[in-house]
Amino acid sequence: MTHAPSLSPTSAAPTTAAGFFRRFRSAPSEPHFAKRVQFSSPFLPYFFLAPQMAIIFTFFYWPSVQAIQSSFYLEDPFGFGSTFVGISNYTDVLKSTEYLGIARFTAVFTAVVTFFSLAIGLLLAVKADGVIRGNATYKTLLIWVYAIAPPVAGLMGMMLFDQHIGPLVKFVALFGWDMKVGLNYTDTATAMIIVSIWKQIPYNFIFFLSGLQGIPVSVREAALMDCRSGFRRFRTVILPLLAPTAFFLLIINTTYALFDTFGVIDVMVKDKAANNPITLVYKVYMDGFRGNDLGGSSAQSVILMIIVFVLTIFQFRFIERRVHYS
């Protein structure tokens, strides 16, 4: 029970079958993490969960187990030959200094992208929620960008940062920065981070905005009376109420930066990683999808999964404690 303080403990299972529809129990021992009142029913929760679980088992666990299995083999992709190699796919990866370098970059990349896309998304959402004039227009315009097709977003990123004719490269050249995306490690990393953040801002904006809209008017009015300072009002009243959304977004943005940025990276390095920075998932993609090394890439996926899992448990343990629900 150490890793999921947010849910009711298993010991609190229903004791009787009687009154299974309208039965309420309370668990005052867990003030912030669980509902004080809950329904209790032997089969109804399973009924609600069934569709989701069925899909997850068929389309996630079934293929995932196969992927994990192949991490212990070196296998001809067409399925003709395979050699059981134990954990050597794992040791090969972990003792490679290149892999560790990629891991370091991934950590920095994830932290920076997560922080800035959350911060900017939140700032814009709070401001858009606050202003009265032009409120709807701002919202629509800011949400719009999310709809742009990923290959085109990538193409634009590439063209904006083009070594020879990119407008942004020309712009920073005015300040004496000779930016060479695709050639210089730091410059490429910068461009990747900027494009990744840019793509994710609308996502965070939408959820933060919906979170803000979810705060009852009465609460806001009361807050407005209590403290005049906008920033303090935000910090002491609004932010705690937004915390559940923020926690959700923290987790989602971490996985975004880790997993979903590989399209951006592929475009920014022009399909050739060379000596440019890449993330762990891009490495999985290069080895597995492009290089057909099923065993090696599966081992990398499992390593990645373990890292993210540990990170997530950590986040649940230490950050969700501070999140006050209701």
Partner 1 sequence: MQRAKLFDHVILLMGVFIMIGPLVVALMTSSHEAADIHRNGLSILPGGHFVETYQTVLTKQGGFTGKITGLRMMMNSLILGLGFAAGKIILSMLAAYALVYFRFRFATITFWMIFTTLLLPLEVRILPSYEVMNTLHLTNTYTGLIVPLLASATGTFYFRQFFKSIPDELLEAARIDGAGPFKFFIDVIVPLSKTMMAAIFIIMFVYGWNQYLWPTLMTTDESFFTLVRGIKQILLVWVGSNIPDYNEAFALAILAMLPPVMIVMIFQRWFIKGLTESDK
Partner 2 sequence: MIKNITMTGLALAFSATSSFAATDITWWHGMAGRNGEVINEVAQKFNAAQTACALTPVSKGTYEEALASGIAAFRSGEQPNILQVFDAGAATIINAKGAVIPAEDLITKAGYSFDRNAFIDGVRYFYADSDGKFVGMPFNSSAPIMYINDEALKKAGVEAPKTWEEFEAIAPKLKEAGYIPLVQSQLTWQFTENFFSRNNIQFATNNNGYDSVVDTELKVTDPNLVMMFEKLKSWADQGYFAYYGAGWNDNQKMFEENKAALWIGSSGSFGGLTKTAQMPFSADFLPYWGSINGAGTSSFIGGAALFAMAGKSDAENKCVADFFQFLTSPEIQVFYHEATGYVAITKAAYEMAKKEGYYEKKPAAEVGIKQLMLPAGEWSKGYRLGFYPQIREIMEREYGRIFAGEVSVKDAFDTIEKEGNELLARFAKTAG
> Would you tell me which residues interact with partner 2 (CB under 8 A)?
74-83, 85, 92, 98, 162-165, 180, 182-185, 269-276, 286-287, 289-293, 295-296
Which of these segments, 80-88, 98-106, 141-149, 176-184, binds partner 1 (CB under 8 A)?
141-149
Nearest distance from residue 117's CB to partner 2, in Å? 26
Inter-CA distances, 205 with 110, 148, 149, Å: 19, 15, 18
Inter-CA distances, 180 with 63, 183, 293, Å: 41, 6, 32
Residues 294-313 close enough to bind partner 1 by CB under 8 A: 294, 297, 301, 304-305, 308-309, 312
The one of partner 1, partner 2, none whose footprint includes residue 308, by CB under 5 to 8 A per kind, is partner 1
The residues, any chain, with a CB within 8 Å of residue 134's CB and separated by 6 or more, are: none
What does the per-residue mask of binding to partner 1 show for 194-233, with x meaning CB under 8 A? ----x--xxx--xx-xx--xxxxxx-----------x---
The one of partner 2, partner 1, none whose footprint includes residue 146, by CB under 5 to 8 A per kind, is partner 1
Site for partner 1 contains 17 (CB under 8 A): no
Site for partner 1 contains 291 (CB under 8 A): no
Q: How far apart are CA 292 and CA 286, in angstroms?
A: 9
Nearest distance from residue 164's CB to partner 1, in Å? 8
Place of tokens 């329904």: 39
Site for partner 1 contains 29 (CB under 8 A): no
The one of partner 2, partner 1, none whose footprint includes residue 315, by CB under 5 to 8 A per kind, is none
Answer for which of 107, 120, 223, 273 binds partner 1 (CB under 8 A) is: 120
Q: How far apart are CA 209 and CA 183, in angstroms?
A: 39
Q: How far apart are CA 139 and CA 114, in angstroms?
A: 22
What does the per-residue mask of binding to partner 1 show for 249-288, with x meaning CB under 8 A? --xx--x---xx-x------------------x--xx--x
Full DSSP string of 298-310: HHHHHHHHHHHHH
Nearest distance from residue 309's CB to partner 1, in Å? 6
Q: Six-digit token pair at 34? A: 């669980």
The one of partner 1, partner 2, none whose footprint includes residue 81, by CB under 5 to 8 A per kind, is partner 2
Nearer to partner 2, 74 or 103 (CB): 74
* Residue type (1 letter), 141: L
Q: Do 125 and 212 contact (CB within 8 A), yes or no? A: yes
In whole angstroms, what separates CA 152 from the centre of its chain?
22
Answer for which of 93, 118, 122, 139 binds partner 1 (CB under 8 A) is: 139
Inter-CA distances, 55 with 31, 47, 260, 320, Å: 33, 14, 22, 28
Report phi then psi at 14, rounded to 5.
Answer: -60, 140
